[in-house]
Structure 1
Amino acid sequence: MKFKFTKTALLALSPPEAGSRTTVYDTEVPKLALRLTFAGTRTFYVVKRSGASMAWVKLGTFPGMTVEQARAEAQKILGEFAAGANPAAVRRAIREEPTFAAMLEDMLKNKKKRNGAPITDRTKHDYLDVLRLHMTLIRSKKLSHVTRADVKAIHVKTSKKSERQADKAVAIISSVFNFAVDHEHFTGTNPAMRIQKNPAVSRDRFAQPGELPYLLAAISESSLSGFFLMSLLTGARRSNVQAMAWREIDLDAGVWRIDMTKNGTPQSVTLSPEAVTILRSIKETRGSSPFVFPGTGKTGHIVEPKKAWATILRRASIRRLLDHMEADGKLTIEERTHADRLVLEAPAAAEKHYISIAETLGVEPVTYDMTGLRIHDLRRTLGSWQAKTGASLIVIGKSLNHKSLQSTAIYARLDLDPVRESVNAATQAMLKAGNVLEFKRA
């Protein structure tokens, strides 16, 4: 019996009598068969004459293997037959084909970046986290069993939680299959090819003039004030500031040399006089750690500053709210004194109390809330203030170590002098807006 295989049609087949089997053939791929036993087991085979006998190459059981997967596998095996392979070799090829998870591990171990550098440990952990969280559908499947429908399902499901993670998952899947093809582990079509990604939302948040006084004041109260100020005044990526080492810094020259950045290139970061002052102050009180911002973990440096950052934003936001309420005559001098003490000593309690009051008074959060600022926005803040003070896009790109195919060569020809001038001007503008006259050495 021959008909077009579909999930509905195959599930509707009635089991044969005890001791017998039923075999049906697909009209889409004529050599693809499904054998149904009395017990209800449905198994896909490729049925092909090999010499004087008929070869039955087992593919997998339905519905664990879908119709689409069976057709793809059948086409692959028929191609092997056409190339002169024997059934045993075909079976062995299927059995030895790596799973998606194994291929990902191989890629993370052996793939090199365009500059020849290996994939960083951070990227490896990131990719494996995406595999663990979002790719359970395909992680144990052979490469040839992963279908476009599988990738679409992963993208749709993950998009409900995070559109960014969903797009990343598709990109990782595509990279794995491209790697597999390049190293001759796979000969089929990349199932992640041309999967429609989610609309990109460009983030342009940075600290505004009216926010800087509150932000800088709150940063100055943090035990990690040096870390956040370095993030703001250098515009360096968070991971690089976290791992900033004294051996990389020339305070006399005002240069911080990063051996390797996220985009796979080294970077010379110009240090403004204010940044140098802060680093000299930290250096005078440092212990034996080689890192500017030491930590207690295995890396030896600070790893997760999110809790400290949340406290900074909480204090900054509530102080903006208190100023707004005071200007409207909603706080007495005594109430304000109590509020300031509460913000400093118990910022979470102050946030809960005064936001409740703000809601009662009808104060819109947009007038005071700064909790949407991210640590990465400090990097964007420097670039934005450079633009405000007249820096060219090329100089800003050099300052922040942005990489693009069009301007990489131009960046390479720039020296640090125009970058230093721009960073210094932006620093002065930010500090003026934040009512900070100077940084005093400890």
Structure 2
Amino acid sequence: MSTYDDDDDDDIEGGIYENGHWAWDDKQNEMVFRSDLPPRKEEPPQMATAILGSVEFREDIDLVEQQRFRKRIQRKVTDDTDFVTLQDIKDVVLFTAPSKIMKPFVINLLHLSATDRLLRALILFCQYHLQISTVMATRTSELETKIRTPKSDEVELRYLENLEDLRLLVAKEYSNMIQGFGEFAKYHHMGHMKKLRSQIRREGFMFETFIRISIQIVWIALGRKSFSQIELEVHRIFKSQVFNSAEHKLGKGDQFDEITANERNVLVGHCLRKKYKVDLLSPLINEIHCCRKNIDHRIYGLGIVKYPHLSPRLLYMEGALSLPESELLKNDISLGMLGSPRSNFDILLREITYSVDDTSNTSGGKISKSVSRASKPMQRTKSSLAESIQSYKDIDLPPPVDEEELPSEFPTKSYPHRHPEEGQRQKWILKCTRILNKHRAQHFT
């Protein structure tokens, strides 16, 4: 005997023929059921996912690919050029990038001198942000046994001002990009003369690709540490907290919810303005329009305009943006691994460490060479710089000068236009062309 009771139908919710009506469909030539409920709106995917999809850089390359990279792409090094450059990092990132983001206009964008300044400023900012976040976490834990004094406020105010000025370095180049000034003119979404119809799809692809590549470049430049922190902060400053797709991907709320008010004040700053989404500015642009602090407006011309008699603080920033990598360490400027001997790194710019064999003696001992790789070489977990050996110095930004003599007139001389390595750009354009031709051939076969 069946245990099913017809009366149980009363407990079933949402029958397939509820909240609707039957109507004749001329196309199907039959009666069809039409729902009277409003159509359910599906939550659209995040912009980065909708435009690019899943973007994963390769974790490792085999020996054959290493030989191909060394022969066709890698910059040739001599004794005089044995140092890591930004171009070296870009080459590694592009070689391990998925082919779907390898477009000629992306390659050309990455090989502009203005883009180099933007990437250098971003490396400098992220390095100092990670450095100060570790310092602030230590200071917070020490409050359990120490008393906070007025001196603490002075120290943290200096950290806050340093972070805000370094964000301005990024913002000044980023604002040129989104407004299509200078070298970025032909990449504007409304064309060089800004008179075309907005190319929304192309602009979205370029922006999301640039953000993703920039995160990878910064992460490698900082020794492959703290990927999640770098990703979250880069998305936050470029997109604002509301549109931080990295937080949505990780299923997190505000990344600063778990820290104290003092830490948040230092790391985020005080130039955020709460507005509606349609009138929301990114934190970078908010820094430019901030009216709650005195901005040294010479920051906006560093690396471009020749200013006489710059303070040590501005000279440090200008050097980080424009000095050749070979001169960074000579001027005591820390910019990740830039300027370090490239012979200290393997083909993917992972640091090579040397360990002395325990069984060796002083007269004929053998030194074993090993590449410092974790069990998961590309593990992207939130960590601090203090958790592993750091191959570069901490940033020691000189303090601002209270009373500084300004020139009588605005400088009119500019630095000569610095072209990134044209040979490397041509190599990547040829590689992009081969990839596109291969995809077209597969499409028509």
Q: Specify which structure has the higher proportion of strand.
A: 1
**TM-score, scaled to structure 1:** 0.25
**TM-score, scaled to structure 2:** 0.24
Q: RCO higher in 1 or 2 (8 Å CA, sep ≥ 6)?
A: 2
